[in-house]
Amino acid sequence: MGSWIWTIVIGFVAGLIARFFARDPKNPSGCLATTVLGVVGAALFTWIGQQLGLYGEGQTAGLIGSVVGAMIVLAVWQALTERRR
């Protein structure tokens, strides 16, 4: 149970930092969206890191990796919203 809470806290902080660096009015906002952004970014960067051999089996991305992953997710989000116009 404690690891889920830690994941949510790190995800929220990573989402906040990513949204700070990638300011755009079209970015998703709110506490829940920020947390989901950070958690998805952490999962994405963990997967990328494991594919590149940066992380071993069972290792996860830290805060910096989570922020980088969240910024990748935001870039994809911005590309998708630009395409809709």
- What is the number of H-type helices and E-type strands within the chain? 3, 0
28-56 pLDDT, tens digit each: 778 888 889 899 998 999 899 899 998 88
72-81 pLDDT, tens digit each: 998 888 888 8
60 CB burial (10 A radius; 0-12, 13-18, 19+): middle
